[in-house]
Structure 1
Amino acid sequence: MAQYPTMLLLALFFVVAIPLAHSTITTELTNLVELRVAGVLSCSATGNPVDTTSQGIAGVNVVLVCNGGQTELGQAITNITGAYEVTLHLVDGLSFDTSTCFTTVRLPAVGSCTLLPPTGILQAPITIISLTQSVVGVVGVFVGGLFSVVSL
C-alpha cells in the first residue's frame, strides 16, 4: 500500500487549524514581536473625519501610549492626508493588555487646522484588526479609533 504524505499533511493542518478557528481574540497578547497601529487625524473639532471630504492634518506627532499614558511605546508623524502608522519591532516579544493603549495627540497640534481645541489631548483607543503568527512570534495590526478630547 502506498503512503500519501499529502493526506498526512492535510490531516495535520486540520488538527492545528480547527482549534485556531474557534479561538477568540483577546486584548491580552503574548509573544508579540511587531505591533502596527494606523489611523487618520482630520481637521475637525474632534480630529475625526466628518465626511469623506474631510482634510487631514500633516506634520502632527501621534504617540502610542499604554497604562493610562504612563508608557510611551512609539510615535509617528502624520503625512499630507493626515494618515499615520506607528510600527514597533520588539526583539524578545512583549506581553501586554492592549485595552489600556491609545493613540494620542497633544494640543495645540502643529498645522493649519484652527478647528481643533487649543489645549488638551486627543485620545483614540486602538482596536485589533488582525494577528498573524510568524516564525518568530505574533504580528499585531491595529487601527486607531475615534478621537475624543481629554482636558489637561
Structure 2
Amino acid sequence: MYMSNLPILYLCFVILLFLIFSYILTQQVINLYIENKQIDIFQKNIALKTRSKDELYRISQIYWRKKLYSKALPIFQLVLHNRIDYADDQTAQIYFQLGQLYTQMENYNKAIKNYNLSLQIVPNNKIIMLQLASVLKKNKQYNLAEQIYNQL
C-alpha cells in the first residue's frame, strides 16, 4: 500500500516545487516590469527636459540596481552637477557608487578620486575605506592601501 502511494507523493512534491518556483519567477517579472516602466517614465521626462533632482536620483539608483553602469554614469554626473540640492549623505552615496562604477570599468584612478570625495563628506566610513584600499591595491599603490587598512 505504501509503495503504491509513492508516485503520487512524488508528483505532489514536484508540483509544489513548481508552484513555488513559478511564484518567485512571477514576482521577479513583475518587479522588472515595474522598474522598466519607471525608466520609461523617467526617460520621457528627461527627453522633455522636465527632470527634477529626485527623478534623476531615482533613475540613477534604478540603473545602478539593474547593473546598467554605462547608462548610470551620465545620470550620476548630471546628479552631481546639481549636487547643491542634495543632502551630504546622498552626495557621499553618489560618489561611492561612482567609485564602484569606475572600479567595475577598471578605471582605478577615477574610482580612487570618487572614493576620496566620498570620504571627505563622511570621514572614517569603514565601507568606503575598505573599497578605497581594495582599489588602491588593484592600482598597485600598496603603501597607500596598507595605510588605509591599518586605519580600519
The structure showing larger relative contact order (alpha-carbon pairs under 8 Å, at least 6 residues apart) is 1
Say which structure is richer in helix: 2
TM-score class, shorter? under 0.3
Say which structure is richer in strand: 1
User: TM-score normalised to the size of structure 2?
Assistant: 0.23
User: TM-score normalised to the size of structure 1?
Assistant: 0.23
